[in-house]
Structure 1
């Protein structure tokens, strides 16, 4: 009995410490709240304002709808860093800027009278800066909303069972209809994890809403290879047909089988494109040249990187041998090839869609290229030749 009592006191103490002193200001879910996710334009504007590179589109739902429970989530990696990784994904379409954003938000808090003005806040921020194993709590969520000037909704499965609202205007901010970030918090507060909410359940069944697109694995065929050989490389000789038969299967997977013929270096993306088209990596340098030249004229790239000097620097850098590529270059390649590309993040175990029509392009059932990014910091790519194992949705 004494041991049980001690456990109860310990649990309550930990719960209090994690919740932090401002948790009473968190506003609970209201039946009139709206699911109104951020847009590509929001991502672009914020990335430019904060000088953080845009990678992929994170927003997939365009309809506004009543704020039901989370239905489809994006898995976010990281035990302690998950909140900042989720913010990184919302902002850039990649989780790899989580540590950068953690540092930036803590510095923002340090300079803020609201988030870092009293002694407890100063001590807490200093502790967070020196200890990477401290979880984000209510203070950090409010500060992130202020830093991004974008309100954040968090659905807590086990603590409240509802949505909690963190206003960009601070602890007394009002809910208004505006693009917001939506996160899913699983587990109890001392062991909780943040994931990114892509879609929510329909509350009003009588109203039609655009459903979440169910991505499909439909790899390009030999006829596509011959077409691209003739179009881009002025040849019709394909060394190897990658997919001889039509393959159509769900892409909601977390296990991929890759082709091992691609060297793990900075040329891996262009090696992969060369192999997809010709069956060899022999045309990698030519494809890099074609994509680099296309970037100079691409309207899509000028939309993603609208600063001419930054764009010119990026083009010059990408033109060099063994320099790896990131999201904007992949968008240029997809536009050049007139073929959408799916990128599987080995770190996140999730897919990102790169439309041939740019970040605003929608997913449709069509033949695509499928690549596995085995290291999203170094951007090392391999060709996906098959997919397995369906992941679970929060609700079907």
Structure 2
């Protein structure tokens, strides 16, 4: 089958809730992917950071194959030999007290909302059904009804109400707004260290440290959604480390899977997680042995192969190179580690056309919010590959159409 035949199948039988670039991929290794016509591309999206370790990492693949031959699923009705080892590995790595495993990032967000609300009632003493959670404008925490209910993106919200109450929206990066929004019924503050889907929006220096201090002063749980920023993407294991703080609860996912199998987790201090009792929350697939074995290896290779350090070094190099590209189309380049955005001026006519031009040259990236291109390759990218990417970007951004 050729590319058009695959596109025709998707268009005929699939829901139209995505608008991907019209490339059909069938193979990947490291930072490279190939389409059904045999064309090779540098992947600069990394499945929204789910393949930080690179496509088809051999050690994770070996673990998946071995575990799949032994045991894949028991449900949490019974115990399995991988779950406790996964708990220990991730808690020791992230200095967490407790962990609750789920499958998708959105499930992790839903889980933390339940846990923090219950903590608010059982520990803080908030009146039943009055708990508030503060979130930020332009957030992206997933696609469930509850989550899109506290989104400010009209595309995410329109047509899906009524929504779950109990959320208060404040500007991102504004510590004074956080302080002003807190009431005696505030249970938690849920925030991304860097807003990825919004276009790699980085808050002012000191924002997370100020948020930590404010939450402590008001007995509010600080929740960091590190599903996209965590596990090496910003050049640190967790993005909170850039400001030397620790959240009360941290959400991880995406790269926890190594790109092989859905797995996410809520990392918590003991006080919050211990409010959940048997029967109050769960998932048939959450904590299954296949996911746990894969996650353990995904974490191990991040550390052993120094991918986090490489993300920091190559991210700095990539960002510096992008800032030397002089084009009337470019408004701003920003980023941290290998989480980088190039925002275009509105007169450029939208980022998507530039993504297609880059794809023609063998480089895959994706637009977000109309005028921004994200560059987020797997953390195993090497200097010569960054140099090649910069050549393609400069050619596309500086040559006339």
TM-score by length of 1: 0.27
Larger Rg computed on CA atoms: 1
**Higher RCO (C-alpha 8 Å, min separation 6):** 2
TM-score by length of 2: 0.26
